């Protein structure tokens, strides 16, 4: 049987190891593995939030990656959780800003949005 397709976003971070801790504190992420460049910067950190994998790449002059920090967004990372309020509280405590308060929608989701300290927009949600 073929593996099921998965989606693993890659996010740019400006401060390497220091920034990885935000995702661990805010979302309970587990760092699965990390590869560093010769200069000690993070080439890639592979993390998982309850089995949903994503990657962090440190911004370097040669990486071509940039975090937005408050600019316009073309991507929002959706994260399904058991308790939207608790996860948003954890994220704010770890340094995120609320961009849309938690509310229930007619299409059957409870959602709230945050922006992490590196400019990435996250929609924290649950099917209700």
Q: Can you list the domains of the chain with their CATH numbers?
A: 10-61+75-127 (3.10.180.10)
pTM of the model: 0.78
Per-residue pLDDT of the chain (128 residues; tens, 9 = 90+): 466 666 788 888 888 888 999 999 999 999 999 999 898 888 899 999 999 999 998 888 776 666 665 556 667 899 999 999 999 999 999 999 999 999 999 989 999 999 999 999 999 999 99
The three state secondary structure string of the chain is: CCCCCCCCCEEEECCHHHHHHHHHHHHCCEEEEEEECCCCCEEEEEEEECCEEEEEEECCCCCCCCCCCCCCCCCEEEEECCCHHHHHHHHHHHCCEEEEEEEECCCCEEEEEEECCCCCEEEEEEEC
């Amino acid at each position: 049987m073929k593996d099921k397709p998965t989606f693993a976003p890659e996010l740019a971070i400006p401060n390497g190891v220091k920034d990885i801790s935000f995702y661990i504190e805010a979302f309970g992420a587990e760092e699965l593995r990390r590869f560093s460049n010769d200069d000690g910067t993070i080439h890639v950190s592979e993390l998982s939030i309850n089995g949903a994998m994503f990657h962090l790449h440190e911004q370097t002059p040669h990486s071509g990656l940039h975090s937005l920090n408050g600019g316009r967004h073309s991507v929002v990372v959706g994260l399904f959780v058991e308790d939207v309020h608790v996860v948003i509280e954890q994220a704010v405590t770890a340094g995120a800003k609320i961009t849309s308060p938690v509310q229930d929608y007619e299409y059957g989701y409870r959602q709230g949005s945050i922006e992490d300290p590196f400019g990435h927009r996250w929609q924290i949600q649950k099917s209700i």
